[in-house]
Amino acid sequence: MKTTNPFFSDTILKTENQQVFLPVLEEKKVELFIKREDLIHPFVSGNKFRKLKYNLHEAKKRNQKTLLTFGGAFSNHIVATAVAGNINGFKTIGIVRGDELAKNIEKTLANNSTLNEAHKNGMTLEFVSRESYRNKTSKEFIDNLRKKFGDFYIIPEGGTNIFAVNGCKEILTKEDAKFNYICCAVGTGGTISGLINSAKEHQKIIGFPALKGGFLEEEIHQFAKKDKNWTLNTEYHFGGYAKYNTDFIRFINEFKAQTNILLDPVYTGKMVFGIIDLIKKNKFLKNSKILAIHTGGIQGIEGFNQKLQRKKQEIIKSL
């Protein structure tokens, strides 16, 4: 679908399902497709577009001119909000964890492509201490922000709220009914909640958390309208958020070489690694059809590679 502004289009944006061909899939008689949500936009890709779409509708409905959100220094959500806000005429404010980043803002922007892109799109960056950031949802914290910046529409960290979940419901289309399994990476629980709510009765949703801890089930239950069609597989977080090992980085590079699909190392890479490993272990029945949602995040690879280079480790080959 082509439109000058997909955020406010009445037509639901559909993305391509790309089939993956690997020897293990042929051996195990399993079909795997990747839904290329990552191709929606260079910065507002995948679930970021889906989560922001109806939040922008709501902000416009409330006649709000400014969007305010939260995130870390390499947050895909921060840059997506900045770009989406700029496209649609909103001012944007990003509350960023880590007040040390404000000591030399020129250096921070020069070394951090995520924050630099947000800045280029007009986002006001407010750096706060990690201690203060933990209280970001408190009334006192929000009141102080309103005193400083005036009125604004709040989008939660990671973008997950009821409007985000409704946007993520639109990821699956009628053509996706042929799949037995729908797989997605899980961060805050918004994407998987939307998929749970829109899945067909015969489909099972499998979430692959990128973080350690069992708190996600409670988060998902806030928004998911079904209880029995989904599960979380917590075996592939590689130690927690943005954690990795050399085998994992090598897997991302090999997958790119074999399929021409680039995975991000924080979310989708872990999901696809998990899917392939489960297929190897015969956890999917023969003739199963699996759809994995590529939720984007590719722009974060540059910052991730900086960390790998500092450690003199293999980098992610993005070209």
Question: Would you say 35 and 15 are in contact if contact means Cβ atoms under 8 Å apart?
Answer: yes
The secondary structure of residue 44, as a DSSP letter, is S
Question: Predicted confidence band at 1 (pLDDT cuts at 50, 70, 90)?
Answer: very low
pLDDT tens digits for range 52-99: 999 999 999 999 999 999 999 989 999 999 999 999 999 999 999 999
Task: Kindly report the pTM of this predicted structure.
Answer: 0.94
Question: In this predicted model, what pLDDT tens digit does every residue of 171-207 receive, in sequence order?
Answer: 999 999 999 999 999 999 999 999 999 999 999 999 9
How many other CB atoms sit within 10 Å of the CB of residue 143? 10
- Look at residue 309 and tell me whether its pLDDT is greater than 70: yes
The mean-pLDDT minimum among 14-23, 277-286, 299-308 falls in 299-308
Q: State the pLDDT confidence band at 2, using cuts at 50, 70 and 90.
A: very low
Query: For 151-172, what is the mean pLDDT?
Result: 96
Instruction: Check pLDDT > 70 for residue 3.
Output: no
Rounded mean pLDDT, 134-154: 97
**Average pLDDT of the segment spanning 9-15:** 88
Question: What pLDDT band is residue 11 in, cutting at 50, 70 and 90?
Answer: confident
The pLDDT score that the predictor gives to residue 264 is: 95
pLDDT digits (tens, 9 = 90+) for 100-140: 999 999 999 999 999 999 999 999 999 999 999 999 999 99
- Alpha carbon of 7 to those of 12, 85, 193, 312: distances in Å? 10, 10, 20, 41
Rg, Å, the chain Cα set: 19
Model pLDDT, residue 241: 86
Identify whether the C-beta of residue 194 lies closer than 8 Å to the C-beta of residue 171.
Answer: yes
Mean pLDDT rounded to a whole number for the chain: 95
Residue 240: C-alpha distances to residues 130, 198, 219 (Å): 18, 28, 18
Q: Token pair of 292, please?
A: 């994995």
* pLDDT range class, residue 300, cuts 50, 70, 90: confident
Whether pLDDT at 319 is above 80? no
Q: 85, 123 in Cβ contact below 8 A?
A: yes
pLDDT value for 4: 63
